[in-house]
Each structure stands twice: as structure tokens, then as C-alpha cells.
Amino acid sequence: MPFDEPEVWGNCGLPSQISLGHYLFYRLRQLNVNTIFGLPGEFIMPLLDKIYSIPELRWAGNANELNAAYAADGYARIKNLACLVTTFGVGELSAINGIAGSFAEHVGVLHIVGMPPTSAQVKQLLLHHTLGNGDYSIFHRLASDVSEHTTVLTDLDICAQEIDRCIALAYKKRRPVYVGIPVNFVDALVDSAPLSIPLDLSMPPNNPELENEVVDAVLDLIYKAESPAIIADGCVSRYNISAELHELVELTQFPVFSTPMGKGAFDEQDPHFGGTFVGSMSSPEVREVVDFCDFVLVVGALLSDFNTGSFNFSYRAKNTALLFSNFVKLKNAMYPDLELSYLLRALIAKLDPTKIRYRPQPVPEVIRAKIKLMDNVPLRQEWVWSQISNWFQEGDVIITETGTSAFGINQTKFPSSTNCISQSLWGSVGYSLGACLGASFATLEEKKGCRVILFVGDGALQLTVQELSTIIRWGLTPYIFVMNNNGYTIDRLLHRKSNAGYHDIQPWHNLKLLSTFGALNYDARQIKTVGDFSALVNDENFAKNGIIRMIEIILPSMDAPPALMEKWLLDDTMDVDLSKRMLDWHDRDDGRGNKKAKSNWQSPASL
Amino acid sequence: MPFDEPEVWGNCGLPSQISLGHYLFYRLRQLNVNTIFGLPGEFIMPLLDKIYSIPELRWAGNANELNAAYAADGYARIKNLACLVTTFGVGELSAINGIAGSFAEHVGVLHIVGMPPTSAQVKQLLLHHTLGNGDYSIFHRLASDVSEHTTVLTDLDICAQEIDRCIALAYKKRRPVYVGIPVNFVDALVDSAPLSIPLDLSMPPNNPELENEVVDAVLDLIYKAESPAIIADGCVSRYNISAELHELVELTQFPVFSTPMGKGAFDEQDPHFGGTFVGSMSSPEVREVVDFCDFVLVVGALLSDFNTGSFNFSYRAKNTALLFSNFVKLKNAMYPDLELSYLLRALIAKLDPTKIRYRPQPVPEVIRAKIKLMDNVPLRQEWVWSQISNWFQEGDVIITETGTSAFGINQTKFPSSTNCISQSLWGSVGYSLGACLGASFATLEEKKGCRVILFVGDGALQLTVQELSTIIRWGLTPYIFVMNNNGYTIDRLLHRKSNAGYHDIQPWHNLKLLSTFGALNYDARQIKTVGDFSALVNDENFAKNGIIRMIEIILPSMDAPPALMEKWLLDDTMDVDLSKRMLDWHDRDDGRGNKKAKSNWQSPASL
């Protein structure tokens, strides 16, 4: 990686006094943060200078602040912590939607905001990038609603401690923490000695009495269950408790499903894995098990109920135990202040498998039987998602976007040791390309050699496209599958006015983006047919992630993964006429007004 | 313009009951809003549907929400009001930086946010795009810090009134007003009768006693002044008081200068116009007048003091009268609640020119003597900005970006009837391309045939580049001058670490952007020399805005308009060595490591 020549202090130890800016970055690097995201601005350049003198630390230099926040989020989902640096007012507000997403989805991001010098604030002088009313605290107040904690450094005597406290908090709580640093503090000298003491990142132990009560209650439900299921939700990855979850499954032999946000947290090659539970959008086989369970144990719960325009999500079992990151819900009883990993380990320690009533049943097959189609058949989402699992490899980092790809991925079966990144709860369109950049850095740092694979719709790509430039600049090599269905397809389906103008987008020459943004070594290709796809996934060279690749998959505009299609075809409230029209649409043209021969596409129901 | 086929209710009058959504858009159209900005999303599609059934109303369909907010701002600077529509949470937060800029700079934007149905909120069901904590009011609360007023419609009986009230408020106060509309309200039926009564957009008259006192005090200062100046600031354009200002100047014969935010508000061809006052960054000729005045009258004041990393701005005259949009400051006395246009008219009505002591003096020449350079000389900012005035035409709408172009434009002299758009106070990099889209729609609607001209740096272009796509999609035809000085030059100068890595950007093939984004009819060219530039500005065809044009002007990376360069060359705190190095940099290479013959560039001081 092209690190700048640093003024290296090396391993000989730091001077006894260093700048606050250096302190911040050395501490972050101690926590395995090697890439800093953001954009330069009026009040942060002295801070950014420090990065260049610290080995194994780089400034990503994003293309805009919202993309930078998305990138920090994607990075933290793999490395547990990220750092975003923006400038007062204009920078931080541009990023706030990304920070809110990290807050919603439990992702630890330290948001450093470069602030005007303390003197200006005290004297109420109007400055660039303000609202013109002398109020310097306003943006910090705005941030407090979407952060675990916010602070602005004001006391030089304790600012290093404050930085340590905030970093530890972001890490432990897996949520954004905001630290405003006045530009005149950056070069203030602080003692470097505290850096030789690692931060305490442990949570306090659970109250033993409370923990025992809950462990006993959960064990009771486990023992008595006759048709149970374990659901792996988002906080399994967030809190790195995959090993504990695996152990629990070994002990109980319960079938395991993941939520969309939990996908990849449990090894999908494990024989206990039965697929993705997506509430009312689950496959019939999964719904059959989960909706008719007498006991559902959700490990690493992020949500208990969830509604979107597309589906409802709730647990219908008679008995439920939801283990959130720091509280537990047993049916309707709420038990606060229980840290998840401690609780799980206590549960595992006390679990006696001989008391389990459940007799293991076969879990549903995740993958449907392979649909054999002829090479010249145009591609459809259903077929692509049913085939792509065969192309995934161990270690892959797979990223999907809000839209059809977030549903399609639930049809796939992951190899072991895969990470899945998807902003299913916050659902900000455009997140995925920024996250892909962040995840690419993280993968290079943590899972060197592993591939990063992005599925993004042509519509979503437009919101944050410039982050391709940063990916190119750093020589990162993700696979970028652009699902080109000619516009905002998920909205067409959601709103059932498929011909509304606002679903259309300006058609881009997506395959020219890489070269336009300065890529020299790249692969950009379009695939349209079953044959194209098969050739691609069987190509050994293509399987190696040596260069940046964009693969544009041409799909019809009213095409979506089966789960979505079935919902609309079977929905009571939908008029018969419209469902017929939607089927006709598939056969009438390719979504761009080009007539074609009648396709071989058949409703999944008829297979 | 490609309007969709509407279901036209035509001129036969509306049905007695119409949907709330229709009511909103009919009222906006009454206030001359013909283009609605934003992106579709889960809770706003029923609302967007209404746009397609109203003649002379279009949905812009922006590429992302921040760009859409910038576009709304640019539109409103010409049309006095704009409407932005985003979706709950993810959409509105993406836009908030743009809304904050509109708040800071007095721009009237109605921000409609599509919200979850009221039932979900009442039942605290978790929904997509929330923080996962059942709090639906949080984003609305965030918005209240950067809005004149925020509301969420809750009572169907008064929601049409509430909409009217909010539209009028945004218009009268020229500030963002936030209106949350639950998706289940959009189709609620309301009476259409109120639409036949135009909104009352007048401000209440000023308190006569207060107004008289202030008028007399200001007149006293006017009469006694021996070396006065009038400054036209940002609120002259915002509140459409150019005519009143002109009348005042005719009566007093005082010299007139504009602030950067007021540029274009006073006819620069008028013999009284003496140039742009940019505080410490002003040309010596302007500073000589303004800093040594005994009386400065600021009309349409936005700021009294202003500091950025680049310059300080304050009025040093012994006597000052600052007429803000709704209050007055006479020296240190503050007089609240005085509406500007009423006050001005009262002042004009009472003014007796015979009592004026001031004898008219010649004002400074705005344009320096033409520098004659040979055709093969590489372009420099100073020369470009000194020449471009000759190419401007009456009616032009000229937009600059935070960065070197915002300074360069102050060197130019505008023809009559020009609009200037620049976000000088809030200063969000990337604003200008979004504003260019908005201004292009507004120009087509209000100043048909007039040209829209954008000056944007290569660095700034990257933040919001996708809005080019929306410009192309609508067949709009601005001139986009990309000042390519290979990175964030203003930051290089601000921070004086010109070689810091974070000033560099990934170099794009900017001239390929238009075609990559699907443009078919376009002009994309690069100019590098004095000869290239001269040929361009003398080309009659080029002067006509029949197609979208991108002109990439290649400039050295340490080049900036003279005002900035002089500051850094003459700055006491700057070491001599660095200033010499900066001069050497000019001659060493073209900023990209390419050796070149020694240029003819000379320090402005030596001319």
C-alpha cells in the first residue's frame, strides 16, 4: 500500500511529550485502526498532518463526507472500530446520515470534528461555516441525538484522558462517539506515557444474581422446547460472539437461521444452518420452521419487530428469548444491563445437554434445486441469486445495497468465514459503495487476500458513485456487480406504479466509470445471458481479485428476487390485473422498449 | 421541457375537494415554484404521484439528497422559494447540510419530509429508516435547529392551513421551513376553495415611531458624511430590493461596493459601482475607499463581522448603518423588528438630496489594465479572471464554488441584470454544481434564454459530480468551467503545507464525465494557454448556450487569484523561504511534475 514517507519514531518509544493530535492517532492505531476516513477542511488540517508521521496509518481522503461516513461504517463492521474526521458545520452535517446509520445498526465510529479555535468561540466572532448567529454548539447538539456520547474538548489538562474515554466507549458500545477538537488544541503537548497502558475495553461483569436468574430462565426454555430455533441476528458479528454461538449450537443441536443483518455470523456450511429468516418475506421452508416454533432464541438481537414497505418481521413463537447487546427480553419481560458475551458464556457453562427435550430434525435446504436454463436466456434476478453461491469463496466479504440485492442475498448460502455487510435497518440507499471502500481497506488489513464483493443497483450506484474514485486511487480490488434493472426497481414494486417517472434514472455508461475516474488497470464488462454468467463464474482468472472489476448485470426493470416477486404476485390487496400486467411486462420487452422473443422465465411458483 | 402527460384539470377550476398532496403542489405553483427537488423514498411516492397531474410542475429527480438540497437553494436564489422533498430519516438527514446552508444564507426552501403513517408512530412500531428506538420525532427535532420553523402535520382539519402558513413563512423569512407529512395524509381530501385566495406574503408594517426614529438617524448620517460608501450585501438579492437600492444611489450619489454575497445585486455597469468589498482581501483601491470612509451604509446586510482562514471582514468606518433583513444596527445600537424594504422606502421618501454634504468622487476602476500576454503562455487564474468579464453577457447567471473561484469572481465586473450565486458564508464545498442545476431550471423559467455559467474547482467537482447527470437528463445547457489546479488548492494555500497528501485528489478524465453520464449533445474541451482562452471567448458559437458545455481550464496547482496570492506573499507570519518556494513552484513544473519552460507569469505586484 502506498504509505507516505513518515517521520518515523519507530519502536524506540515516543518522546515523553507529544501533540494531542499524535496522541489520538497513536491510540487509535493501538486499537487496530489503520485507516482514517474523511475530508480535509478549514479546521482539521493540522490534525491530518499527524497521520503522515505515524507508521501503519493512512488518510483515506474520501470524495465526500457522507461517503466517508459510510466507509467508516463498513470498515468498523470488520475491524470493530473506525475513525471519521470532518470539519465543523459543513463537513459534519454532510456526514450525519452515515453516523445515524452507524448508531441505528450498532457500529462503532469515532467521529472527530475539527472545530474553530477556542478563542473565536469565546468571543462569539462569526466564522466561516457557521449559521451566522454566533452559536458554535449547535452542530454538536445535533450530533448528540445520533451518538452514544458527544463531547468538545475544552480542558487541555484532561483532553488526552477524554480522548481515551471516547475511543473506549465507541469500541465497547459499538456506537458513534463524537469528539470536537478545537484546532488550537491539536498541537498542544500532552504526556505520551498513558499510551503504554492499553485501554481497558472490557465491560463490567454482569450482576451475578441477575445473570443467574436470566440464565436459569433461558435454560428452562431451552430444555422444554420441542420445536426450537436459534436466530443469529446483527449483534453476533458486532460483538464477535460467533464462537460462543457456535458452541451453543453444538450443545443444543438446535436449527439455526440468520436474520438479514446476522447473515454470515453463523457458518452457513454448518449442518444446523437452515437459511435466512426475513419475517413475512422468508422462504416457505424457513417460515414453516420459525413461525411454528414453540421457542425462538435470538442471539445478538438488534430488533424484535420490524416493518418496512416490503415485509413484516416479528417472532411468533409461544416462547421467545431475545439476547440483545446489553439487555434481554424473555417474552414480555425486560432484563436490563446484561452484557451479551458474558451472558452467553454463563449460559454455555451451565447448559446440561442431557436435559434438552428437543430431538434434532433436518433443517431446510437453503439452496433450491438448480434451474437448468439455456445459455441464450436473458438473466433474471432469481437465477443469478440461485447460482452465485457456487462462486462465493471462504473468506469473502459480501456487501449488498438497499434494494433488490438486499433481498436476493438471502437466497444464497455462504461459504465459511464470510462477512456480510448490509444496512438492513437504516437502509440508506448509496451506503454500499462507501461501505465497500471501508470494507476493502479492512479486508486488506485483517483478511489479506480475501475478496470483497459488492452487489449494488444501478439506481443506488448514482448516489455515491464518486467513491469508486477513492477505491481506484488506493489500488483496491473489489468486485462491483452492478444490477442494472434500469431504475429504482424496489420502489417500482413497493409502490406499484411501475411506470411512474420518478422511478426512472438517467442511464449511465456504467462500464466507463472506472476509466473516467482514472483507473488504469481494471476489468469492466457487461453480462446479459445465462451463458455470459456461467462463463464468468467458471473463469479461474476472474475468481482472483488482482484488479478492480465492475460487472454490469443487465436485468429487466420489473425483475426482482423471487421473495419480492411472490409477495406482489400473491398479495391480496393487489389487483389481478396488475399482477398479470407485471408478468406481461417481463415478456413484452427487456425493460428498455426493445422487443424480444418470449423468454423462458417462469414464475417460481410453477417450477 | 419534457413534461409528462398530466391528467389536466385545466382552467376549469379544481374539484371542490382535492387531496392534500395536490393542495400542497397547487399552492407552491401559485408562488411560482415549477420544479420540485428531491429523491423518491418509502414514504413519499404517493406525494410525488401528484406532481405528474399538475401542469407546469415537474419533479427534478436528483441523484442524491444533499445535491437536491443544494439545487433547491440555487433555485430559490432566483425564484425566491423552492421545494425539496425527502424521505424520513435517511433522506432528510442526507440533505441537512444543504438546509443548514440555506438557513445561514437566508434562502427560502420548503422542506417536505415524507413520514411513516400516523398509526405506526402511535404504536411505536419499529420501522425501516429509524434509529431502532421507537423515536419518530428525532429527525424533526434535529431540523428545528437549522430551520425557521418545523412542523409535522397531525390534524387533518387544519393541515391545509398549516401548509399555507409554512409556505408563506419560508417565502417571507427567506429561510427553510420543515413540514413532515405522514404518508397516510397525502390522499386525505381537503377543500380546494382556499386556493382561490392568494397567500398573504406581506410583512406587517413597521412600527411608525420606531421606523421614523431610525430613518431620521440614518438620514442624519447620510447628510453629514463627507466620505461615505454604500455596501450592497446578500439580502439585496434575497429580498428583491435592487430597485430601491438603485433609487437610493441615484439620490445620494454615494459610491457603491458589493460584498461577495451581494455581487450582482447592484448593477455593476452603473458609474457609481466601485468593486467588491472583501474585507482584508479587497483590492487596495477598494480598501482605500471603504476602510477610510467616515460613513458606511450597508443595505441588505447579512453579516457585520466575518472571519475565515483566508480573510477578515469588518467595517472600520467611524459611523456605520447596517440594514439587515429585519433589524438595523447603527454603530452599536440595535433596532429590532424593522422590515428592510419598508424601511428603505421610508428612507427614500424622506431623503432630501439638497442636505447631502458629500461631493461625488470618482469610484475605483474595477478592472485592471489588460495584461497582454502571448498566445502560448499557460493560463493563470489572475489572467483568466481579468479577462472573463469581457465574455459575460447581460442576464448571465454566474455561480462560483468555495475555493479559488469564489475569490476570482470578485475581480470581475458584471454586465447588467446578472445574478451571482456563491455560498460565501456557509461555504460547503460541492454546493455549486447542485446550485447550478437548480439555477438552470430557474433561469429557464424566469430568464429564458439567459446563460448559466459555473466555475468549479476540480476538487469540489468530485463531491457532487453526479448532479451533472440530472442536468443532462433535463437537457439543461449550463457552461461548466472546471478550474483544474490538481487538487484542493485553497487548502494548500490556507494551510501552507502545499505538499501534504490530503490536498491531492484522484485525477479524473473530467471531459469524459458528460458522455459517461449519458449526454449525447455536448461540448467538452480543455484549454491551457492564453491563445486557447482567447479563441474560446471570441467564438460566437461558443457564446450561445444551446448545449451543455464543460470547459476544463488547466492551471498550476499553486495558482490562485491575485488577492489570495498577495496575501500569502505579503503575510508577515509567513517565512520568506516559503514564499520564495511558492514562486519557484510556479516556474518549476505545471503542478503535475511535468517540466516546462519558464513561464511569463509575474507577480501582480510587479506589473
pLDDT in tens, A180-225: 999 999 999 999 999 999 999 999 999 999 999 999 999 999 999 9
> What number is the average pLDDT over the span B202-226?
97
**How many domains are there within chain A?**
3
For B145, which residue in chain A has the nearest alpha carbon? Answer: A138
Our CA dihedral for A166, A168, A171, A175, rounded to 10 degrees, sits at -30
A458 is in an annotated binding site: yes
Within 8 A of B515 by CB-CB distance, chain A residues are: 509, 512
Which of A355, A389, A419 terminates a domain? The answer is: A355
> What number is the average pLDDT over the span A478-486?
94
Rounded alpha-carbon distances, angstroms, from residue B14 to A213, A377, A484, A498, B438: 66, 50, 41, 27, 29
CA-CA distance, A421 to A469, in Å (whole number)?
21
> What's the pLDDT at B579?
37
Our CA dihedral for B564, B566, B571, B576, rounded to 10 degrees, sits at 120
> What's the pLDDT at A584?
43
**Whether residue B439 is found in the same domain as residue B518:** yes
**A594: pLDDT strictly greater than 70:** no
Within 8 A of B501 by CB-CB distance, chain A residues are: 4, 52, 59, 61
**Whether residue A217 is found in the same domain as residue A152:** no
Per DSSP, what are the bridge partners of residue B189?
Answer: B19
* A598 in any annotated domain: no
Q: Do A512 and B508 touch (CB under 8 A)?
A: no
Q: Do A128 and B307 touch (CB under 8 A)?
A: yes
DSSP A571-599: -TTS-HHHHHHHHHHHHHBSSSS-B-PPP
CB neighbours of residue A555 within 10 Å: 25
**B218: pLDDT strictly greater than 70:** yes
Greatest Cα pair distance in chain B: 77
* B44 in any annotated domain: yes
Q: A562 pLDDT band (50/70/90 cuts)?
A: confident
> What number is the average pLDDT over the span A66-72?
98
What is the domain-level CATH number for residue B283? 3.40.50.1220
> What's the pLDDT at B12?
52
pLDDT > 90: what percent of chain A? 72
* A409 in any annotated domain: yes
Tell which residue, A49, A58, A52, A120, has the closest CA to residue A89: A120
pLDDT in tens, B517-527: 999 999 999 99
Within 8 A of B302 by CB-CB distance, chain A residues are: 132
> What's the pLDDT at A365?
81
* A514 in any annotated domain: yes
Higher pLDDT, B400 or B366: B400
The answer to whether A381 and A281 are in contact (CB under 8 A) is no
* A91 in any annotated domain: yes
* B586 in any annotated domain: no
**Whether residue A75 is found in the same domain as residue A180:** yes
**Whether residue A190 is found in the same domain as residue A58:** yes
Q: A494 pLDDT band (50/70/90 cuts)?
A: low
**Whether residue A156 is found in the same domain as residue A178:** yes
Which of B196, B218, B248 terminates a domain? The answer is: B196
Tell which residue, A97, A99, A506, has the closest CA to residue B469: A506
pLDDT in tens, A250-267: 999 999 999 999 999 999
Q: Which domain holds residue A477?
A: 381-562
Give me the residue from A94, A101, A500 closest to B97, CB to CB.
A94
> What's the pLDDT at B372?
80
**Whether residue B169 is found in the same domain as residue B226:** no
> What's the pLDDT at B596?
39
pLDDT in tens, B337-365: 999 999 999 999 999 999 999 999 888 88
Type of residue at A414: F
Q: Do A504 and B303 touch (CB under 8 A)?
A: no
A531 contact B CB<8A:
no
**Whether residue B522 is found in the same domain as residue B489:** yes
> What's the pLDDT at A343?
97
> What number is the average pLDDT over the span B287-310?
84
DSSP A33-78: --EEEE---TTTHHHHHHHTTSTT-EE---SSHHHHHHHHHHHHHH
CA-CA distance, A275 to B7, in Å (whole number)?
47
Residue B483: all three cell numbers together: 478550474
In B458-512, beta strands by DSSP E:
479-484
* B367 in any annotated domain: no
Give me the residue from B427, B466, B508 closest to A462, CB to CB.
B466
CA-CA distance, A197 to A204, in Å (whole number)?
19
CA-CA distance, A470 to A444, in Å (whole number)?
15
Mutate to test the interface with A, among B506, B514, B522 (most CBs of A within 10 A): B506
Within 8 A of A472 by CB-CB distance, chain B residues are: 506
The answer to whether A42 and B490 are in contact (CB under 8 A) is no
In A295-438, beta strands by DSSP E:
295-301, 306-307, 312-313, 319-324, 327-330, 333-336, 397-400, 419-421
**B253: pLDDT strictly greater than 60:** yes
Distance from CA of B134 to the nearest CA of A (A): 11
> What number is the average pLDDT over the span A129-154?
89
**Whether residue A116 is found in the same domain as residue A31:** yes
| Residues 6 or more apart whose Cβ sits within 8 Å of residue B583 | B569, B603
Kindly report the backbone phi and psi dihedral angles of residue A336, in degrees, each rounded to the nearest multiple of 5, phi listed first: -80, 170
> What's the pLDDT at A117?
86
* A606 in any annotated domain: no
Give me the residue from A141, A491, A515 closest to B45, CB to CB.
A491
Q: What is the 3-state secondary structure (H, E, C) of B250-309?
A: HHHCCCEEECHHHCCCCCCCCCCEEEECCHHHCCHHHHHHHCCCCEEEEEEECCCCEECC
Q: B207 pLDDT band (50/70/90 cuts)?
A: very high
CB within 8 Å of chain A, chain B residues 464-503: 464-466, 469-470, 472-473, 488, 491, 494-495, 497, 500-503
> What's the pLDDT at B69?
98
Kindly report the backbone phi and psi dihedral angles of residue A518, in degrees, each rounded to the nearest multiple of 5, phi listed first: 95, 10
**Whether residue A84 is found in the same domain as residue A214:** no
Give me the residue from A132, A308, A502 closest to B425, CB to CB.
A132
Distance from CA of A378 to the nearest CA of B (A): 24
**Whether residue A304 is found in the same domain as residue A228:** yes
> What's the pLDDT at A498?
57
> What's the pLDDT at A497?
56
> What's the pLDDT at A567?
65
> What number is the average pLDDT over the span B51-70?
97
Determine the 3-state secondary structure of B104 from DSSP. Answer: helix
A438 is in an annotated binding site: no
Half-sphere exposure of B164 (CA within 13 A, CB side): 18
> What number is the average pLDDT over the span A271-295?
91
CB within 8 Å of chain B, chain A residues 506-525: 506-509, 512-513, 515-518
Distance from CA of B358 to the nearest CA of A (A): 33
B7 contact A CB<8A:
no
Tell which residue, A389, A406, A589, A416, has the closest CA to residue A483: A406
CA-CA distance, B556 to B585, in Å (whole number)?
9
Q: Do B505 and A93 touch (CB under 8 A)?
A: no
Kindly report the backbone phi and psi dihedral angles of residue A378, in degrees, each rounded to the nearest multiple of 5, phi listed first: -65, 150
B458 is in an annotated binding site: yes
ipTM here: 0.90
What is the domain-level CATH number for residue A59? 3.40.50.970
Q: B135 pLDDT band (50/70/90 cuts)?
A: confident
Per DSSP, what are the bridge partners of residue A112?
Answer: A85, A179
Pairing of strands B306-307, B295-301: unpaired
CA-CA distance, B172 to B188, in Å (whole number)?
28
Give me the residue from B94, B145, B488 closest to A141, CB to CB.
B145
Which of A196, A219, A253 terminates a domain? The answer is: A196
The answer to whether A38 and A400 are in contact (CB under 8 A) is no
**Whether residue B221 is found in the same domain as residue B95:** no
**Whether residue A402 is found in the same domain as residue A486:** yes
**Region of A262 on the Ramachandran plot (φ > 0 left; ψ -120 to 50 alpha; else beta):** alpha
